[in-house]
Structure formats: C-alpha cells, structure tokens
Amino acid sequence: NSEGPDAKNLRVKLVLLGDSGVGKSCIVLRFVRGQFDPTSKVTVGASFLSQTIALQDSTTVKFEIWDTAGQERYAALAPLYYRGAGVAVIVYDITSPESFAKAQYWVKELQKHGSPGIVMALVGNKADLQEKREVQVQDGTDYAEKNGMFFIETSAKTADNINQLFEEIAKRLP
Ligand code: GTP
Ligand code: MG
C-alpha cells in the first residue's frame, strides 16, 4: 500500500456534543488511548486531545478533538467549541430517550449556527447495554437519514465501532 498520488495530510477540528453522561469522554479516551475508565469524571468546560489516523490510500487525518461538557450549566460555552469545526459528533446513550432528545437539540443548533458544510455524525453509545435499550436502532437511523448525517452505534466500554466511527468521518471529509 504505497503512497498514491491522491495521498494527503488532512487536519480537522472535531467537536463532541451531547448530554452529560452519554460517554463522550469515554469515546475519546477509547479512540486516543485505547482505554476505558468506568469511573470517568464529568468534564468541566471542555477538554482537548488530538489523534491522527491513516486511511487506505495513505491519506492521514489529524483530528483536533474538543470534548465538551454536557452538563446544562456549560451549554452557553458550546459555540466556542463548535465554531469553525469541520466535524460535529453528536452523542446519545441508547438507554436514555432524554439524551436522544438532547442530541436532536444539538443537531438543530448546528444546522442553524454551525460551519456551512460541517460533517455531522450521530452516535448511539453504550451499545453494550442491549438489555436496557430504550432508543431503537431504527430511531437513530431514521433521524440521521432525515438530517443528512452519518449514524453509528458504539460502545466505548467494549470498543465496538469506535475506530469505525472516526474512519467513516475521515472518508466523508471534503
Ligand atoms: P460529561 O463530561 O458530563 O458531558 O459526560 P460524558 O458524556 O463525557 O460521559 P463520560 O464519558 O464521562 O461517561 C459517563 C459514564 O458512562 C461513565 O460512568 C462511563 O463509565 C459510562 N460509559 C461511557 N461509555 C460507556 C459505554 O459504551 N458503555 C457503558 N456500559 N458505559 C459507558
Ligand atoms: Mg465528559
């Protein structure tokens, strides 16, 4: 797999949004460090991490990740982090309909105030908790399709679909 003529080095600002407790920080920790912390602390303000991945054609993508705080008291800070972002990853917890409603709020906010052409992904996390599922796969699929978003269910705990999430985003970059 040599470096083809189309190989590029891309850099993109990515923001994670969603209710407190849905697993945003755990998704980032799994992606960047390959770890899971069952005692993950709530994020205060936001935290920043970066990670570079290589695609099939040797293109590399450096994700500059802003992991925002989901608690309501931090909601007013969100525009500072999604401003200029090329990618928004909007996360809910498949065991929480309230978090799915909050995800839809963020989608609308970004449609109004996000960068034009922003790539948006809808993520149903905690897919390992099947017996507690309250948001159906079809609900996520349908909402994402209506809003022109990429959809995936993940588990930061088991690592299921975490790398796939970021690879699929990378493939969709302009
Ligand atoms: P804020 O920082 O407050 O916005 O929350 P957050 O979205 O960053 O949540 P965080 O990543 O801190 O995870 C919250 C809780 O959910 C922690 O107790 C995690 O261990 C748990 N958790 C996160 N991802 C998963 C998952 O995929 N499966 C299961 N079972 N638990 C998870
Ligand atoms: Mg967090």
Q: Helical H runs in the chain?
A: 24-33, 78-82, 97-113, 137-146, 162-171
Using one digit for the tens of pLDDT, what is the confidence trace for 101-149? Answer: 999 999 999 999 999 999 999 999 999 999 999 999 999 999 999 999 9
Whole-angstrom Cα distance, residue 87 to residue 80? Answer: 14
Whole-angstrom Cα distance, residue 159 to residue 101? Answer: 25
Confidence of residue 3 (pLDDT cuts 50, 70, 90): low
- If one residue of 40, 68, 94 were mutated to test the ligand 1 pocket, choosing by the most ligand atoms within 8 A of its CB, it would be 40
- Does residue 118 contact residue 89 with C-beta atoms inside 8 Å? no
Supply the residue whose CA is at minimum distance from atom 23 of ligand 1.
23
Looking at residue 18, its pLDDT comes to 98
Centre of ligand 2 to C-alpha 155, Å, is 15
Looking at residue 111, its pLDDT comes to 97
CA nearest neighbour of 82 among 173, 18, 19: 18
Question: Rounded to 5 degrees, what are φ and ψ at 85?
Answer: -75, 135
pLDDT greater than 60 at residue 64: yes
| Atom of ligand 1 at shortest range from CA of 155 | 27
CA nearest neighbour of 119 among 156, 89, 162: 89
Confidence of residue 57 (pLDDT cuts 50, 70, 90): confident
Supply the residue whose CA is at minimum distance from atom 28 of ligand 1.
126
Instruction: Enter the pTM of the model.
Output: 0.96
CA distances from 151 to 46, 65, 83, 86, 119 (A): 24, 19, 22, 17, 12
Looking at residue 2, its pLDDT comes to 47
CA distances from 110 to 1, 41, 119, 137 (A): 37, 26, 10, 23
Looking at residue 1, its pLDDT comes to 43
Looking at residue 4, its pLDDT comes to 63
Using one digit for the tens of pLDDT, what is the confidence trace for 8-51? Answer: 899 999 999 999 999 999 999 999 999 999 999 999 999 999 99
Looking at residue 157, its pLDDT comes to 98
| Atom of ligand 1 at shortest range from CA of 91 | 7
- If one residue of 22, 26, 89 were mutated to test the ligand 1 pocket, choosing by the most ligand atoms within 8 A of its CB, it would be 26
